[in-house]
C-alpha cells in the first residue's frame, strides 16, 4: 500500500491538474460562445445570398451558363484540410487526419499524385502529412485569431480564378462540422464547382436584371462561393472550441473522481497508521505491566 506521503503527493498533483483543466474548459467555453455568436450573425447574410441565387435560378425558363458551376471531368484537384495547432481537443484532430488520408488516397488513385494539391491549416494536420509522406502544396497556421472574412475571401478568390482558368477542376474542403459542443462530424465537401442543384428551391419571381442575366450571375455567384468558404471556416473553428471544451470538461470530471478516490485511500491509510500506532502503544503498556 502506498505511504501517506506518496498519496498526498498524488492528491496535490491531481488537484493541480484539475485546476488547469477547469481553467482551460472556461477559456474554451468563452471562445466557443464568441465563435457561435459570429457564426449566428453571419448565417442570415449567407442564407439570403443563397436564397437570392436560388430564387433567380428558379425564375429562369431556360438553362443558363454559370462558369463556377461547370461540372467537368476532374484532372486536377485541390484538397483543403483544417485542424487545430494544439491538442487536448478529443478526437477533433484524429477525425480530420483520418478523413484527409482517405480523401487523399481516393483522389491520387484517380488523378495521380502530381494532380492533387494539398493545402493544410493547423499544425496537427501539417505534422501528420509530413510523417505520412503526403506532399503539402501550402502549409498554414491554424485559424485561431487570424480567421476573418478577408482571409476567406482571399483564399476563395484565388481558387475561383484558378478554376475559371481551368488550372484546377475541383476544390474539396475537409473539416469538422459543428453540431453541438459534444458532437463534431468530419465532413468532406466539394465547394467548386458550385452545386446549384443543392440550393433550397426558391420562390418564383419575375426578375428584371441589368445589364444582363449573365453579368448578374457572374457578380452574385462569386459572393455565394466566398460566403461558403467563410461559413465552413467558422464551422470548423467553432467545432474546435466545442471539442476542446468537452474534452476539458471530461478531464475535469475524471480529475474530481480520482481526487475523491485518492482522499478515501488517504483516509484509509491514515486510519491504518493510527490503528497500528494504538496497537503498538497498547502492546507496550501490557508488556510493562507484566
Rounded Cα distance, 280 and 278, in Å? 5
Superfamily the domain 27-245 falls into: ATP synthase, F1 complex, gamma subunit (3.40.1380.10)
Rounded Cα distance, 75 and 3, in Å? 68
CATH 3.40.1380.10 residue ranges of the chain are: 27-245
Rounded Cα distance, 47 and 227, in Å? 9
Which strands form 77-82's sheet, in the order they lie side by side? Answer: 138-140, 116-121, 77-82, 170-180, 183-192
pLDDT at 201: 55
pLDDT at 156: 93
pLDDT along the chain (290 residues), means of 10: 80 88 88 87 86 78 78 91 87 93 93 92 92 91 81 92 92 92 89 74 66 79 91 91 89 89 85 77 69
Contact 59, 207 (CB under 8 A): yes
Quickly count: other Cβ atoms within 10 Å of residue 139's Cβ: 16
- Tell which CATH classification among 1.10.287.80, 1.10.357.10, 1.10.760.10, 2.60.40.10 matches the domain 4-25+247-289: 1.10.287.80
- Biggest CA-to-CA distance, the chain: 118
CATH 1.10.287.80 residue ranges of the chain are: 4-25+247-289
Q: Which stretches within the chain are classed as H helix?
A: 4-59, 92-111, 123-132, 149-164, 213-289
Rounded Cα distance, 42 and 147, in Å? 13
| pTM (predicted TM-score) | 0.84
Q: Which residues, in sequence order, are bridge partners of residue 80? A: 119, 173
Query: What radius of gyration, in Å, describes the C-alpha atoms of the chain?
Result: 29
Quickly count: other Cβ atoms within 10 Å of residue 212's Cβ: 9
pLDDT at 70: 85
Contact 77, 163 (CB under 8 A): no
Angle at 152 between CA 151 and CA 154, to 5 degrees: 65
Rounded Cα distance, 258 and 261, in Å? 5
Amino acid at each position: 500500500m502506498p505511504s501517506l506521503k506518496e498519496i498526498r503527493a498524488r492528491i496535490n498533483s491531481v488537484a493541480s491538474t484539475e485546476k488547469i483543466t477547469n481553467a482551460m474548459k472556461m477559456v474554451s467555453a468563452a471562445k466557443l460562445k464568441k465563435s457561435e455568436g459570429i457564426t449566428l450573425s453571419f448565417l442570415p447574410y449567407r442564407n439570403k445570398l443563397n436564397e437570392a441565387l436560388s430564387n433567380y435560378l428558379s425564375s429562369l425558363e431556360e438553362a443558363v451558363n454559370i462558369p463556377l458551376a461547370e461540372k467537368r471531368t476532374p484532372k486536377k484537384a485541390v484538397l483543403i484540410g483544417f485542424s487545430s495547432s494544439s491538442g487536448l481537443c478529443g478526437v477533433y484532430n484524429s477525425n480530420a487526419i483520418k478523413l484527409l488520408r482517405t480523401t487523399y488516397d481516393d483522389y491520387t488513385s484517380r488523378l495521380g499524385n502530381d494532380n492533387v494539391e494539398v493545402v493544410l491549416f493547423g499544425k496537427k494536420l501539417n505534422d501528420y502529412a509530413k510523417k505520412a509522406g503526403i506532399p503539402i502544396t501550402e502549409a498554414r497556421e491554424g485559424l485561431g485569431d487570424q480567421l476573418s472574412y478577408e482571409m476567406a475571401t482571399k483564399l476563395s478568390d484565388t481558387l475561383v480564378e484558378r478554376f475559371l482558368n481551368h488550372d484546377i477542376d475541383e476544390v474539396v474542403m475537409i473539416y469538422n462540422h459543428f453540431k453541438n459542443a459534444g458532437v463534431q462530424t468530419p465532413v468532406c465537401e466539394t465547394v467548386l464547382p458550385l452545386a446549384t442543384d443543392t440550393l433550397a428551391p426558391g420562390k418564383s419571381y419575375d426578375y428584371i436584371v441589368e445589364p444582363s442575366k449573365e453579368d448578374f450571375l457572374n457578380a452574385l455567384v462569386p459572393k455565394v462561393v466566398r460566403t461558403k468558404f467563410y461559413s465552413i471556416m467558422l464551422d470548423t473553428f467553432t467545432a474546435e472550441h466545442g471539442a476542446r471544451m468537452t474534452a476539458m470538461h471530461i478531464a475535469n470530471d475524471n480529475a474530481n473522481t480520482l481526487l475523491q478516490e485518492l482522499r478515501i485511500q488517504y483516509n484509509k491509510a491514515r486510519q491504518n497508521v493510527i490503528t497500528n500506532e494504538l496497537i503498538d502503544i497498547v502492546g507496550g503498556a501490557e508488556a510493562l505491566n507484566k
